[in-house]
Amino acid sequence: MNARALAIQILARVRATDAYLNLVLDAQLDATALDDPRDAGLVTELCYGATRRQMSLDFALAQFSNQPLEKLEDRVLAALRIGAYQHFYMRVPARAAVSETVEALKSLKLYRATGFVNAVLRKIATLERPPLPPEADEVKHLAIRESHPEWLVHRWIRQFGRERTIAMLEADNAAAPLVIRANSAKVGRDELLAQLREAGVAAEPTKLSPVGIVVPPVGRVEDLYGYAEGLWQVQDEAAQLVGLYAAVPEGARVLDACAAPGGKACHFAERNEVLAVDLHAHKLRKIESEARRLGVESRLQAKAHDATKPFPESIGEFHVVVVDAPCTGLGTLRRHPELRYRRRPEDLGRLAALQRSILEACQEQVPPGGLLVYAVCSVDFQEGPDQIEMFLRSHPEFTSEPPPGLAPEIPTWQGYLRTLPGPEGLDGFFCARLRRLY
């Protein structure tokens, strides 16, 4: 199959099933024989690029389509988006963007749609750049230009100001780097860097995390040096900073109450005994498999449990309870661009209520003198600082306690860890570290 045809198939499936783009992409690349193995990079660029720029593309396409876009068959709409993306954002020659996309449809035996797609894309090809709403309506203009829902642009301007919001929107449309965390149970960061470079990998240390390494994009992470040996784990630098900010004392017993997909649980298990809990048993199997690969399985146990419910006494006592809470994921839109179109304003209130329920159940497991660590991969105040301030008002036995000796370059806000998408190159995370006084 050629690259454009596969990209059409992938985007159509994501739209039809509400699946995560990265999961569908990885599965399809593994299962499909491409005309040229190097085309995997083109498929990835087309899928992520067309998804990141979806609102901008649709705004242009709608001006030339005689049918409402939302009523088009999934593969037809995917083909239009891919053709327009190539023209506007990849600078593929106009004739090639049109003809290659039409040929991809033919290879998928969608002959009946080729005339329509050809006509729309030929009109798109006459434009030098994507059309935009008037700048006088700033929110709508930015929403279309950067392909983020208007409600989210408006909310971010109110929370972060105009300039930072624009930086966040632009960062969400940039390709995310591949970042790994050295497994300190087996190897130091500097030693792993040297080994990667010796293996021909152009690896660089992360700027803030002392255990992170940025590596060039690869077709399959499993093929990268050190994966089979368990020398590293894929984890964004901002997520690594959560582990740094938590500052779990060595030897402390840790309860990770919402452990999937397991990056932080495995990070803690490099030095501590960890009980990884999640609502879904099948997710725990993946965490256990990853712990075996990393060689930390002796320090990590997994148990299925609903973290909004009281924990059984049989699990024992813990020094640190980590709540990596379910959230909107609004800090990870560059990695999961499809999320921006699926989230609704009401999701914030719904998830904030769930987060509060989990906090209430988990705080019961924190002994006097113990730590409660709360984290979300969201930039929204309602899921981050507002959630913690409300918790502290109703729980005077807890106080916020940032880790001692935190490096000044680590991004904080009112004592909490907070990273924002932008020129710093990080995903958006919030983390609070709370000490139980009595």
pLDDT tens digits for 74-91? 999 999 999 999 999 998
Distance CA 164, CA 354 (A): 29
pLDDT value, residue 220: 81
- pLDDT, tens only, 299-355: 999 999 999 999 999 999 999 999 999 999 999 999 999 999 999 999 999 999 999
Q: Which residues pair with 416 in a beta bridge?
A: 413
pLDDT value, residue 394: 97
7 & 67 share domain: yes
Residue 37 in this model has a pLDDT that exceeds 80: no
Q: Number of folded domains in the chain?
A: 4
115 & 189 share domain: no
Q: Average pLDDT, whole number, for the chain? A: 96
74 & 25 share domain: yes
Ramachandran angles phi, psi of 395, nearest 5°: -135, 80
155 & 77 share domain: no
243 & 226 share domain: no
- Residue 359 in contact with residue 352, Cβ under 8 Å? no
395 & 268 share domain: yes
The pTM score is 0.95
The CATH number of whichever domain residue 359 belongs to comes to 3.40.50.150
Q: Does 371 map to a domain?
A: yes
Residue 219 in this model has a pLDDT that exceeds 80: no
Residue 38 in this model has a pLDDT that exceeds 90: no
pLDDT value, residue 361: 97
Tokens representing residue 319 in the block: 């020094």
Q: Which domain holds residue 154?
A: 138-172
Distance CA 430, CA 14 (A): 28
The CATH number of whichever domain residue 68 belongs to comes to 1.10.940.10
- pLDDT, tens only, 255-287: 999 999 999 999 999 999 999 999 999 999 999
Single-letter amino acid, residue 177: P
The pairing of strands 253-256 and 320-324 is parallel
Q: Which of 62, 94, 124 is the last residue of a domain?
A: 124
Q: Which of 212, 234, 256 is the last residue of a domain?
A: 234
The CATH number of whichever domain residue 198 belongs to comes to 3.30.70.1170
End-to-end CA distance of the chain: 64
pLDDT value, residue 1: 83
- pLDDT, tens only, 183-209: 999 999 999 999 999 999 999 999 999
250 & 380 share domain: yes
What does the radius of gyration of the chain's CA atoms come to, in whole angstroms?
Answer: 23
Distance CA 281, CA 294 (A): 20
pLDDT value, residue 305: 96
Residue 375's pLDDT band (cuts 50, 70, 90): very high
Q: Does 189 map to a domain?
A: yes
Q: Does 131 map to a domain?
A: no
Q: How confident is the model over 128-143, as a mean pLDDT? A: 97
pLDDT value, residue 35: 80
Residue 289 in this model has a pLDDT that exceeds 90: yes
pLDDT value, residue 84: 98
Q: Does 272 map to a domain?
A: yes
Q: Does 80 map to a domain?
A: yes
Q: Does 133 map to a domain?
A: no
Q: How confident is the model over 148-161, as a mean pLDDT? A: 98
119 & 91 share domain: yes
Single-letter amino acid, residue 193: L
- pLDDT, tens only, 14-29: 999 999 999 999 999 9
The CA distances from residue 252 to 33, 189, 247, in Å, are 48, 23, 11
194 & 49 share domain: no
261 & 401 share domain: yes
Q: Which residues are catalytic?
A: 377
Report helix angle 54-62 to 74-89, nearest 10: 100
Residues ≥6 apart with Cβ < 8 Å to 224:
201, 215, 218
218 & 349 share domain: no
Nearest Cα neighbor of 11 from 2, 1, 22 is 22
403 & 271 share domain: yes
pLDDT value, residue 91: 82
Tokens representing residue 201 in the block: 């990998």
- pLDDT, tens only, 398-433: 999 999 999 999 999 999 999 999 999 999 999 999
Q: Where are the beta strands (DSSP E) in 341-380?
A: 371-376
Q: Does 270 map to a domain?
A: yes
Distance CA 126, CA 288 (A): 54
pLDDT value, residue 387: 98
Q: Does 130 map to a domain?
A: no
How much of the chain, in percent, has pLDDT values that exceed 70?
Answer: 100
